[in-house]
Structure 1
Amino acid sequence: GHCVARHHGRVVFVRHSLPGERVRARITEGSPGDRFLRADAVAVLTASSDRVGPPCPVAGPGMCGGCDFQHVSLRRQRRLKGEVVAEQLSRLAGLEREVEVEPLDDEEGLRYRTRVEFAVSPEGTIGLRRHRSHDVLAVPGCPIAVPEVDEALAAAREDGVPEGIRAVDVVVPSGEADTVLVEVPADSPTPPIPLREEVAAPGGEVGMGVDARGFWQVHRAAPRAFVTAVLEAAGVRPGERVLDLYCGVGLFSLHLAAATGEGGQLLAVESDERAVGHLRENLAGQPGALVLPGRVDDLLGVPRKGRRRRGRPARSELLPPSADVVVLDPPRTGAGRGVIEALVPLRARRIVYVACDPAALARDTAHLLAGGYDLVSLRAFDAFPMTHHVECVAVLEPRGAVLG
C-alpha cells in the first residue's frame, strides 16, 4: 500500500500517496544509516486525478492501519493491484502479461467484510490498531464491514470487556441468524466455536462448518466467486484423482469431490487441527474423499526450513504417485520451491494455484515453469477493496499440452 519515492538517493516508502503525486512526507520509521525509510504523506502538493476523499474518518496518516487505499478511486485501486501482479510476474517469473482485477459484489468497495478482529487496549479501549503500532484507536465503526459488525462493536463497548481480553472478534456468518462476538483471552486459547456458512456454488447452495476464529474468506461474495472460478479452472472430469492442498475446512474440496463423481478420488490436505475436524464433517457425504491431516511439506517429504535432520524426511505413503488435477491455496508466504518441486513429478494435467500474495505466486510460478509447466490463464479478484490485497487464481498446464 506504499508508493516508492527517492530522496537524496534513498528509497522512501510513502503511505497515503499515489504514483505521480508530489507530497510533503513525514518520516515514521528509519534512521540516517538505513537503506530505506517509511513515511506518511501529510500534505498533497500536486494531487493525482485518481485521489478521492476517504469514506472513513480515521483512514489518514497516523490513524487506523486497516486500509491502504481509501484515498484512491476504486477503479484506480484495481489498476494498481493489477499492475503489482503483472510487475511481480515479470520480475520474478519472466512473464509479461496484463492483469485485470475483477470486482466482486460490493457497493463502491464498502460494507463487504463479515469478519473483523477489534483490538482491546490494557485500559479496555476497543478499536483498531494504528498503522505498524500497538496503539488502539477507538474507531466509530468500520465502513468496509457489513452493518452488523458496527452494531456488535457498539454493543461490546456498551457492555465492556473483562480484564485479560486482548481482542474481540465479530463474525457475521451467512448460515446463522445471529452475529457472533468472541472475546479472545490474552494468555489462553479460545475454545472452539462452530459456525455454519452457506456457499452458493454452481451445483447449488451448500452449508459448511467452520470455527469462529478459523480461516474463512472475509468478503461476503468471495466464497461463491472463488468456488466458481476454481471449479471452472480445474475442469475436473468424472473418475479423476484430485489433490486439494492447504484446503482449510474444504471450501473447494467439497465441490471438487462432487465433480470427480463415482470412481473418482479427492485427497484433502490440511494441518490446522480445528479445520481438519470441520473438513471431515464437511466431506462426510462424499465417499470418494479422503482427509489427510498434516503439513503439505511434511506429507510430501520436503525438509522444513531451519530444521536439521539426517536424510530426507519420508514422503507419506497415503499420497498417490500421480494426480490429474492439483489445487493449492497456500498461506501468504506461498508453497515454496521444495513443495513445487515435489508436485511436478505427479504430472498433473492441470494445476490451479489460488494466491493472496502476488510475489509468492510469481516465485512459485517460476518454479513451475522450471518444472515444465506453462501459465495458461490468470484471474485476479478485488476481494479486499480499500486495501492493497488481491486474490489470484492461476492455471498451469504441462508445456506442450493440448489446452481444454
Structure 2
Amino acid sequence: MTADWTGRTLELDVGPVAHGGHCVSRVDGRVVFVRHTLPGERVLAEVTEDRGKSFCRADAIRVLRPSADRVEPPCPVARPGLCGGCDWQHADGAAQRRLKASVVGEQLRRLAGLDWPVEVEELPGSLLRWRTRVRFVTGPDGRPGLRAHRSHRVVPLEDCPITLQDAAKTGLSRRARPGTEIEVTEDATGRVHTAELRPAAHGRAGRPKQLTGGIAVERAAGRTWRLAAHGFWQVHPAAADTFASVVGEWAAASPGARVWDLYAGVGLFASVLAEQVGPTGSVLAVESGRRAVRDGEANLADLPQVRWRCGRVEHVLSGVDEQAEVVVLDPPRKGAGRDVVASVVDAVPERVVYVACDPAALARDVATFAEHGYRLARLRAFDAFPMTHHVECVALLTR
C-alpha cells in the first residue's frame, strides 16, 4: 500500500498543464497534481490530498524558479489554502489562454484522436470585474465568502475582484445563518438581484428566499431578454452575444428548414435559428427547466416557428421522429453522451453546432459523433472565464 503523503513537502519540477487548473509533476513513480504553479517552474509543494492511489494533490507554497509568465495575484486570497474560485491569477492573461488552449488540444488528442490547433480567444473586457453571476456562502460567523479548493471550508471575503463591483459588494455585505448560499446577479441594466438558499433545518430541505427583483434584463442576439434572475444565462457579459453570433454563422439554416436547439435554456440560439428559417421553418427547442421554458416562450412569443418541449433531451428525442437540417446543442458540463448523440445523428443533420463548457466532455462527444460519420470541421475557443481553468468552445461537425 502507498504511504499517505498528506502534509509532506516535495521539491518538484513542474510539467505540463492538466485539465482542472493544475499542472503535472512526478515523484517516485507517482503523479502529483500541483496548483498555484506554472509549467517549467521549480517549486516546494505541500501535499494536500492523498487517497493512496497512483496520484496525489499538492499546492505550491514556494516558487524556487519562477516562470516568465508568473505575476502577482491581484486577489489576496488567491493563494494556497485559501479561496478555490480562481486557478490562474498567478499567470498573465496571454499565458492563461495558452494554458487553456493546451488543455483543449490535449483532450482532443487523448479522447478523440485529433491533432487540432487551438487558440483561445479573448472576450471584450478585462481579466477582472467580468463575472455577472456568483454564489457566495456564509461561514461559521455568518460572513459570506467562497469555499477553499476541494473543501467545504468557507474563506471569508472582503471583495471578489473577478465579480462585477456592485454584485460583489451587495453579496458580501450580507450576514446570514452559517451555510446560507447567497446568489447574486447583476443584469445588463446594472440592477443587482439577490436570493438566499438557506441550509436544511430539522430534516427539511432549505428553500430559496428571493430578496430583490426576480426578473433580470439581458441583451444578446439583437434582442432584450427578461428571465429569472438566478436562472441560466452566460456569466461573462460578452459571452451570450459572441456565442450567438458564432452559432448563427455556422448553423446557416435554410429558409423553411426544420432545425433543433437542444438544451435550449431560454432560447438564445433558438432565436437565431428562428430568424434564419423564417416563418415557414420550424425550430424544436428542448429544455428540461420549466422556468426556462416559460421564460423562453415569453421572450420568443413573436417567433411562432419555435416549438418548445419541456423535458430531458434524451427523453424528448426518444419520441421525436423527424429529420433536421441543423442541430445546435449546448449540454451541461458532463456533455451530451452517447444516447443523445445517437438521437441527433438519427435526424441526419447536415451540420451540428456544439457549444461546450468542458473540453473533456466535448472531446468524448466529438469521438462519438465520429463513430457515426460526423467530423470536426471548425472549432473556436473563448476565454469566457478569465482567471479560472474553465474555457468555452464552439465546434462545428459536418456529415
* Alpha carbons 1:332, 1:356 under 8 Å: kept: yes
Aligned match of 1:100: 119
Residue type of the partner of 2:148? R
Q: d(CA) in 1 for partners of 2:179 and 2:72?
A: 35
Q: d(CA) in 2 for partners of 1:277 and 1:136?
A: 35
Q: d(CA) in 2 for partners of 1:230 and 1:191?
A: 36
Indicate which of 129, 132, 135 corresponds to 2:147. Answer: 129
Structure 1 position 46, deviation (Å): 1.0
* Alpha carbons 1:130, 1:136 under 8 Å: kept: yes
Q: d(CA) in 2 for partners of 1:46 and 1:258?
A: 55
User: What pairs with 1:169-248 in structure 2 (closer than 5 Å)?
Assistant: 169-175=183-189, 178-186=191-199, 187-190=205-208, 194-201=214-221, 204=222, 206-248=223-265
Residue type of the partner of 1:10? R
Aligned match of 1:166: 180
Residue type of the partner of 1:348? P
Q: d(CA) in 1 for partners of 2:208 and 2:328?
A: 30
Q: d(CA) in 2 for partners of 1:253 and 1:189?
A: 31
Normalised by the length of structure 1, the TM-score is 0.89
Structure 1 position 121, deviation (Å): 2.1
Q: d(CA) in 2 for partners of 1:152 and 1:236?
A: 43
* Alpha carbons 2:216, 2:229 under 8 Å: kept: no
* Alpha carbons 2:381, 2:392 under 8 Å: kept: yes
Structure 1 residues 154 and 347: alpha-carbon distance in aligned structure 2, compared to 1, 3 A threshold? closer
User: What pairs with 1:260-271 in structure 2 (closer than 5 Å)?
Assistant: 260-271=277-288
Structure 1 position 253, deviation (Å): 1.3
Q: d(CA) in 1 for partners of 2:181 and 2:346?
A: 44
Q: What's the Cα RMSD here?
A: 1.5
* Alpha carbons 2:284, 2:306 under 8 Å: kept: yes
Residue type of the partner of 1:37? C
Structure 1 residues 191 and 258: alpha-carbon distance in aligned structure 2, compared to 1, 3 A threshold? farther
* Alpha carbons 2:314, 2:340 under 8 Å: kept: yes
Matched, 1:10 2:30: yes
Kindly provide the CA deviation profile for residues 63-120 of structure 1, in whole angstroms up to 9, marking residues without a partner as x.
000000000111011011111111111111111111000100112x111111111111
Aligned match of 1:153: 171
Residue type of the partner of 2:388? T
Structure 1 position 191, deviation (Å): 5.8
Structure 1 residues 378 and 79: alpha-carbon distance in aligned structure 2, compared to 1, 3 A threshold? same
Kindly provide the CA deviation profile for residues 251-294 of structure 1, in whole angstroms up to 9, marking residues without a partner as x.
21122212210200001000112212112212211111100111
Aligned match of 1:292: 309
Residue type of the partner of 2:365? D
Q: d(CA) in 1 for partners of 2:159 and 2:178?
A: 23
Aligned match of 2:4: none
Kindly provide the CA deviation profile for residues 167-199 of structure 1, in whole angstroms up to 9, marking residues without a partner as x.
111110114x52112122223332676423332
Aligned match of 2:383: 382
Matched, 1:333 2:347: no
Structure 1 position 296, deviation (Å): 0.7
Indicate which of 40, 43, 59 corresponds to 1:40. Answer: 59
* Structure 2: gaps (5+ residues): 1-20, 200-204
Aligned match of 1:258: 275
Aligned match of 1:401: none
Aligned match of 1:311: none
* Alpha carbons 2:38, 2:67 under 8 Å: kept: yes
**SS of residue matched to 1:252:** helix
**SS of residue matched to 1:198:** strand
**SS of residue matched to 1:326:** strand
Q: d(CA) in 1 for partners of 2:100 and 2:145?
A: 28
Q: d(CA) in 1 for partners of 2:310 and 2:196?
A: 28
* Structure 1: gaps (5+ residues): 301-314, 399-404
Structure 1 position 164, deviation (Å): 7.0
Q: d(CA) in 1 for partners of 2:267 and 2:397?
A: 22
Kindly provide the CA deviation profile for residues 13-72 of structure 1, in whole angstroms up to 9, marking residues without a partner as x.
0000111111100000004x3221000000111111111111111100000000000001
* Alpha carbons 1:173, 1:195 under 8 Å: kept: no
User: What pairs with 1:58-73 in structure 2 (closer than 5 Å)?
Assistant: 58-73=77-92
Same amino acid, percent of matched pairs: 51
Structure 1 residues 116 and 37: alpha-carbon distance in aligned structure 2, compared to 1, 3 A threshold? same
* Alpha carbons 1:196, 1:207 under 8 Å: kept: no
**SS of residue matched to 1:208:** strand
* Alpha carbons 2:288, 2:312 under 8 Å: kept: yes
Aligned match of 1:110: 128
* Alpha carbons 1:165, 1:183 under 8 Å: kept: no
* Alpha carbons 2:297, 2:308 under 8 Å: kept: yes
Q: d(CA) in 2 for partners of 1:371 and 1:95?
A: 16
Q: d(CA) in 2 for partners of 1:53 and 1:35?
A: 32
Structure 1 position 150, deviation (Å): 2.7
Q: d(CA) in 1 for partners of 2:26 and 2:191?
A: 50
